[in-house]
Each structure stands twice: as structure tokens, then as C-alpha cells.
Amino acid sequence: MATVIVVTNQKGGVGKTTTCAALTGIFRSRGKRVLAIDMDPQGNLSFSLGAEDEGYTIHDVMTGRCDIREAIKTTHICDVITSNILLSGSELELTSEKREFILKGILEIVKYSYDYIIIDTPPALSILTINAYTAADDLIIPMTPEILSLQGIAQLRETILAVKKYYNKKLNIRGILLTRYVQKQTLAREVEEMVEIVAKQLHTQVLDVKIAVSVAVAEAPAHQEVITTYSPNCRAARDYVKLAELLYPEIAVAKTRKIFR
């Protein structure tokens, strides 16, 4: 049965989509069955993974217009359920009494067909985000070592704790992931110390692996490749491999295979 991994932060530009894409590529290279779900109306993960902007989307699935299996697209990287701007209207469309559990119920249909389901969330604390948290097994919180990013984490904390209390008691907050990290920067070290405080309030940790700043991270989506195949020897790609093996040690024993078509 699939482990559902949600990557989240209400602040944009912190590496959510890059982290989702990187984990997807690493899991697939280890022979795992992966479904990526784009819950962001901007559709950046869909594009990054080479999914066509046509056919059914997660919006259609969430609003009951199609079965989840009808919305799955197969790309050269993995299976993907895409998103588009129509998803931004979900706050008004999803009005059922138990609307926080819609995604969780839908995923039950496909959870036995995959090893991992990776969900990219919008940079907002909306019903979409709450649905993702309610359906999740694991939560990863990327952030850049900046003060504004730290404020976003503090605001996110209340929502995560509320979901854990009322909707998903088994939600496992795996840790806060520092991205675009430059160890020599004084600000980065100072912010890291403050993040430790927020992590304790969330009963989690600042992950030992930090993702180094890299031009290749920005270049990879333009080629619809994940960072670990676009520039496998760059520091950021190696950091993501370390992250995946740290959080999911079962993949460390799997031999890396070239499986992308």
C-alpha cells in the first residue's frame, strides 16, 4: 500500500515542486511505483513531470466529474494527475459536510497500485491543503533560510496541528527541509537556529540534509526533467538522494536503475 507524502508550505518559492519532482525521480529510479498529484492550481508539478495539459485533472476528480483512474496520465517519469487554474475555485465548489476527507476517500481506490503517492500543495492554507494533510501519511515542509519563509512556517503550524487533532491523528511530520542553503551565509545559520524552535513546537525536527543552492534546480523544469536526471552530479541532486534515503531507508537498498523512457 502506498505511503502518501505531502510537501507543503504556504509560502511560494521555497522548493515544494522541486522537492516533489526530485523524490518522484529518485523513487522511480529505485524501481518504485509512483503517482504524483498536483494540487496547486498553477500546475507547476504537472509541467515539470512532462504531463500534458489536457484531459481530466485533480479538479475533476475532487468534484466527482470522473473516477481517479480516468485522470491518471503516464509520463516519461511517472504517473501524474495534473492540475490547472480551475482548481482555484474548489473552496466554493467543495461544500459537502465532510469535505476535508474527499481526497483521502478518493486515494483509497489507487493506494494499492503504488508504493508512493507524492502530493504538491498550493502556497495557501485552503481546503485543498487541508485535504492533502488529511490524506497524508508523511508531511515534509521545505523552506528557504530567510526570515519571511520562517514566518510562513509559524503560520502553517496552527493548521497542521488542527488537522492532526481533528482529521488525521496519524499524520507524521517528518521534518523541516532547508532549501537553497548556503552554509557560509550568516543569515542561513541564524534562521536555522530559529527554525529549531518552530520544529519543536511541531514535535518534529530540522532535517540533517539540507538542499544546496543550484542553478540546475531552476533549469530542470524547463527540460521537463527532475534534478537527479538533469544534473545528477550537482550538489542539490546529491542532497535530494541523501534526503530520500534518510527518510525512506527502504529505497537505499534498491539498486538504481535507468527506467525513464
pLDDT in tens, 7-50: 999 888 899 999 999 999 999 999 999 999 999 999 999 999 99
Between residues 202 and 211, the one the model is more confident about:
211
Domain ranges of the chain: 3-251
Alpha-carbon span 126 to 159, nearest angstrom = 10
Report pLDDT for 254: 66
Given a cut of 60, whether residue 260 has pLDDT beyond it is no
Given a cut of 50, whether residue 261 has pLDDT beyond it is no
Cα–chain-centroid distance for residue 158?
A: 19
Candidate from 114-128, 181-195, 235-249 with smallest mean pLDDT: 181-195
Alpha-carbon span 70 to 61, nearest angstrom = 9
Given a cut of 80, whether residue 152 has pLDDT beyond it is no
CATH of 3-251, picked from 3.40.50.300, 3.40.50.1980, 3.40.50.720, 3.90.700.10, is 3.40.50.300
Given a cut of 80, whether residue 185 has pLDDT beyond it is no
Cell numbers given for 27: 523513487
Q: 220 near 227, Cβ under 8 Å?
A: yes
Sign of CA dihedral 132, 135, 140, 141: positive
Report pLDDT for 257: 60
pLDDT-derived band at 258 (thresholds 50, 70, 90) equals low
Q: Give me the chain's average pLDDT, please.
A: 90
Report pLDDT for 187: 63
Q: Which residues contact 42 (CB under 8 A, 6 or more apart)?
A: 83, 85, 122
Arithmetic mean of pLDDT, 238-256:
89
Arithmetic mean of pLDDT, 200-219:
92
Candidate from 46-60, 122-136, 189-203 with smallest mean pLDDT: 189-203
Candidate from 72-76, 124-128, 153-157 with smallest mean pLDDT: 153-157
Given a cut of 90, whether residue 139 has pLDDT beyond it is yes
Alpha-carbon span 241 to 228, nearest angstrom = 8
| Predicted structure pTM score | 0.93
Q: 45 near 221, Cβ under 8 Å?
A: no
DSSP 2: P
